[in-house]
Amino acid sequence: MSSISVRRRRVYVTSSLLLLALLLSCRSRPDAVPPTRLVGAAQPLIEFLEDCQSISASRLASWCGELAQSMRACTAVVAVCSPTENLAEGGTPCRLAESVECVDRKDLTELGLGDEDWLFQGPLPGILSAGTSSAGTVELRGRSSSDGAIRVSARLNGSQELPLGRWLPSAESPGQFQLSDTGAFAHARWRPDGGLVPQRTGKRSLADRLYGLRSELFSATVLTGSVEVVAFVPNPGDRFPGSAAALDFHLRRPAIAAMESYIADLQKEWPLVRNDYSFNGFEGACLNNLRVMPGLAPCYLATDSALVVGWNRTAIEGALTPASRSQVEVAGGEGAGSRATVDFAALALADRRLAATRSRDVAFNYPFRSLDVVGRRDGSGFFFDLTLHPLVAP
């Protein structure tokens, strides 16, 4: 290649990167769908995308596979694409795989990215924004570390309209883990940014009417707003995984009174039978004859700091059996933010057992050992720190 063509190519790439940097610093028009951008080292990106592709035969997997294929000849990549029109007005999404261009790895340093880093920016993905016309954005910064883990910092902006938006973690610390997660595939503790139950006015929803969700139990005077959930691997033959939730309260006696009042409200709509129940020195009640879902015979117990509700006795007793607690490393200590962990080996076992009860095959393959997430509200958006641990240490 002649020196002139090399110079031209460098000018072209530099211009592209400068333009990209300019675009990265621009705000999207509030009503338009923001462009999608991907830049970074190709090899770690390819490995990450191939892991994504291997999870299931899904649309996301196809997208990951196409993207990985498009960058195989590169050492570093830049990809920018914009939808033809506003998606909410019937425009078509862009195809990032067709926008991939190879660049030099050292060009990444101009964007503040290291040799193993990648950066993704774009509209909120379908998994979060489906059914909305939200103009929110997501930014992911990924890095592969020497221990084989993949660390991703994620920032969500403009997520207020999302169906799940109010459930994202607030800036306040949710407190320490209370429940045991031995035998669990997922465990999370957080303080929802929007509170536990929306403070709506107007008529009650069907769920409100049937489940009494407007009762005083769910007012801020009883509960602190922190919630902890643990989901257990189902026993063979169980059609649903057992689960338990802890709702922290301010004062124990009013919380118990509110719970009993809630149960009394439920009994007006459902043919429930309430039985006293105690476990490990904690008192509560179980509800039988609910017959809403298989295995659902909910119980609650009042601990010193929380109302613990379980799918059934097995679940609640598993959650309150003193054993291991999640050992999620939290930057700045346990009070720093909401956190969650997923054990993929246990999740795979849960998949197998659930599929077996329905005479079906398992659909998912998990290329990681576990996922740890720490998150909090950060100004107008939300920040998450995700760590995907490898199946086998290198």
State how far the Cα of 1 lies from the Cα of 49, in Å rounded to an integer.
Answer: 32
Stretch binding other proteins (CB under 8 A), from 92-100, 120-128, 317-325, 368-376: 120-128
10 Å Cβ neighbour count for 254? Answer: 14
As given in the structure block, the two tokens for residue 251 are: 């004062």
Binding status of residue 257 toward other proteins by CB under 8 A: no
Instruction: Indicate which single residue of 56, 69, 75, 261 sits in contact with other proteins (rule: CB under 8 A).
Output: 56
Nearer to other proteins, 147 or 361 (CB): 361
According to CB under 8 A, which residues from 129 to 158 bind other proteins?
129-131
Q: For other proteins, give the closer residue by CB, 6 or 130.
A: 130
Which of 44, 65, 125, 390 is the binder for other proteins (CB under 8 A)?
125
Work out which of 127, 331, 392, 393 binds other proteins, going by CB under 8 A: 127
Cβ-based neighbours of 346, under 8 Å, separated by 6 or more: 183, 184, 185, 233
Report the residue from 164, 251, 273, 336 that binds other proteins according to the rule CB under 8 A. Answer: 164
Under 8 Å between Cβ of 310 and 300: yes
- From 23, 24, 60, 330, residue interacting with other proteins (rule: CB under 8 A): 60
Query: In the complex, what is the shortest distance from the CB of residue 358 to other proteins, in angstroms, rounded to a whole number?
Result: 5
Residues 183/341, Cβ–Cβ less than 8 Å: no
Which one among 3, 237, 331, 358 touches other proteins, defined by CB under 8 A? 358
Between the two ends of the chain, the Cα-to-Cα distance in Å is: 39
Would you call 370 helix, strand, or coil by DSSP? strand
Residue 351 touches other proteins, criterion: CB under 8 A: yes
Stretch that binds other proteins, among 73-81, 115-123, 136-144, 288-296 (CB under 8 A): 288-296
Nearest distance from C-beta of residue 301 to other proteins, angstroms: 24
Asked whether position 207 contacts other proteins by CB under 8 A, the answer is yes
- The residue among 53, 54, 73, 72 whose CA lies nearest residue 63 is 53
> How many residues are given for the chain?
394
235 interacts with other proteins by CB under 8 A: no
| Structural Rg of the chain based on CA atoms | 24
Among 261, 364, 369, 390, binds other proteins (CB under 8 A): 364
If the CB atoms of residues 275 and 289 are measured against other proteins, the closer one turns out to be: 289
Measured CA distances, 7 to 11, 75, 76, 164, 292 (Å): 6, 19, 19, 49, 70
Contacts of 251 (CB under 8 A, 6+ apart): none
**8 A C-beta contact, residue 263 and residue 383:** no
Residue in 84, 360, 380, 391 binding other proteins, rule: CB under 8 A: 360
**To the nearest whole angstrom, how small is the minimum distance from the Cβ of residue 188 to other proteins?**
13
Please tell me what DSSP assigns to residue 350. Answer: H
What count of other Cβ atoms lies within 10 Å of the Cβ of residue 226? 24
Shortest approach of other proteins to residue 305 CB, angstroms?
Answer: 27
Which of 21, 257, 354, 386: binder of other proteins (CB under 8 A)?
354
DSSP 282: E
Q: Which residues in 27-46 are b (16+ Cβ under 10 Å) and which e?
A: ebeeebbbbbbbbbbbbbbb
Q: Is residue 361 close enough to count as binding other proteins by CB under 8 A?
A: yes
Least distance CB 129 / other proteins (angstroms): 7
CB of 154 to other proteins, least distance (A): 15
Which residues of the chain form contacts with other proteins (CB under 8 A)?
55-61, 125-131, 163-164, 185, 205-208, 210-211, 213, 231, 240-241, 269-270, 290-293, 347, 350-351, 354-355, 358-364
